[in-house]
Amino acid sequence: MTPARIVVVGTGYVGLTTGACLASLGHSVTCVDVDRAKVSRLSAGRVDILEPGLADLVARGISTGRLQFVVGARDAVRDAEAVFLCVPTPMGAGGSADLRAVEAVAAEIGDVLPAGCALVTKSTVPVGTSKRIEEMLGRADVPVVSNPEFLREGTAVADFLGPDRIVVGSDDRAAAQWVGDLYAELDAPLVVADAASAELVKYAANCYLALKLSYVNSIAELCERLGADINLVTEGMGHDRRIGRTFLKPGPGWGGSCLPKDTSALVKVAESVNYDFKMLTSAIDENIAQRDRIVAKIAGAVGGTLAGARIGVLGLAFKAGTNDLRDSPALAVASVLGALGAELTAYDPAIDGGIDGMTVVDDAYQVAKDADVVVVLTEWAEFKHLDWAAMAQLMDGIDVVDTRNLLDPRVIVDAGLSWQGVGRPRAAARIKVS
């Protein structure tokens, strides 16, 4: 395919990754943002987002001249062949997706889009958004195409350049196919659909993953009550090709920038057509219950009363490899602990500080000092390699609550500490190192 002139509106995780990756495929890409300071930093190759490979890809795009950053969408789109909307669609009032940013951009650029330019929604939007945008534009010569993203934070570049599938949808099939052809260099199945089906794919996929995570957390709770080991249970499940191994790890609950808002949004979409999506609402309820169970587990480790308990927290980001705190289950658990009177000292390799209700330090060993219990809330690999004997000497208590089942219980016990994970048998301390 001949390289296309593409404008990407928004330079968050999705927008910046989309722009940099499309430029790497040979297209001429202009990324637009309203934040002048951010545009200036990006133009100099400074990327604030912690995402493996993204900074290098941005630098390469700038050096080749295929990637640029500007302020103001109206001028940028005047000669575009495709405009990708990559703006936030956060959870709005009542749980529905907030489409104000999408609508604001469409209203801003609608009258200056060139005839034939594809307006592509990359942001996660509810079913019916393409038709809504078409009505706003009032232009039969500008096709609206849904092209949902399936990027995971921490692996966004790899996910874009090595996708499981590419989904495009429009009631103008030729326009959908043309947008799909922008990815021609990638070796991935192309699903060309109508607009409604393409819009639903993203919600259906994300909500299924949420269901799977809530299910495995429920099974982990059963393991604790029945004396089974969740690691062995999920290993046995994962060999079944119908189930697979992914999203079978229990933890403090699911979160991040996508699953919470997407599950709530799909529930609202279902309500709009008089469907009671009980399975999904149960998964959401189970997610809240899982965080409560984690808090109870930590409370049990300090004798049942959190008020005044000194808790060392390892990890705050919603997942390892990112600096994203949006709907972080780690932060949610920590916030509840703080609200119940616990004194929190936290460390995360990607978080500098500035979090209310806790002291954020720059050394993992500082969280152990005088701690009654140390809690692992994010699965950073470096926590496995801490000197746990040294951690034990710094602690007042002997309990380690590992909500990610990250650590080797034998290492913790050999250090003179007790270990308890999620859905696994406890490992009791032999002797406290003094």
- Contact predicate 330/378, CB 8 Å: yes
User: Beta strands 144-146 and 118-121: pairing type?
Assistant: parallel
> Is 122 labeled as ligand-binding?
no
The answer to whether 248 and 231 are in contact (CB under 8 A) is no
Helix count and strand count (H, E) for the chain: 15, 14
Residue 46, marked binder: no
Contact 254, 213 (CB under 8 A): yes
The answer to whether the annotation marks 340 as part of a ligand binding site is no
Q: Whole-angstrom Cα distance, residue 237 to residue 233? A: 6
Contacts of 59 (CB under 8 A, 6+ apart): 45
User: What are the angstrom distances between the C-alpha of 376 and each of 20, 362, 379, 403?
Assistant: 34, 16, 7, 6
Helix (H) or strand (E) holding 9: strand 5-9
Residue 116: helix, strand or coil by DSSP?
A: coil
Residue 47 to residues 58, 106, 301, Cα–Cα distance (Å):
8, 27, 41
The residues carrying an active-site annotation are 258
**Binding site annotation covers 150?**
yes
User: 300 among the known binding-site residues?
Assistant: no
DSSP string, 260-278: HHHHHHHHHHHHHTT---H
SS3 427: strand
Q: Is 173 exposed, middle or buried (0-12, 13-18, 19+ CB in 10 A)?
A: middle
Beta strands in 292-426, from DSSP E residues, in sequence order: 310-314, 343-347, 359-360, 373-376, 399-402, 418-420
Q: Is 124 annotated as a binding residue?
A: yes
252 has binding-site annotation: no
How far from chain centre, in Å, is Cα 393?
Answer: 36
Ligand-binding annotation for 152, yes or no, is yes
Residue 248 labeled ligand binder: yes
- Which parts of 188-309 are beta strand (E)? 190-193
Whether 423 has a binding-site annotation, put simply, is: no
255 annotated ligand binder: yes
Residue 90 φ/ψ, nearest 5 degrees = -70, 175
Reference 248, options 280, 221, 209, 286; nearest CA is: 209
Q: Is 164 annotated as a binding residue?
A: no
Is 261 marked as a binding-site residue? yes
Q: Which tokens is 288 given?
A: 């809240």
The burial class, CB within 10 Å (0-12 / 13-18 / 19+), for 26 is middle
Query: Would you list the DSSP string of 12-38?
Result: SHHHHHHHHHHHHTT-EEEEEES-HHH
Annotated binding-site residue? 151: yes
Which residues are documented as binding site for substrate? 150-153, 202, 247-251, 255, 319
Which residues are documented as binding site for NAD(+)? 33, 38, 89, 124, 153, 261, 326
Which residues are documented as binding site? 33, 38, 89, 124, 150-153, 202, 247-251, 255, 261, 319, 326
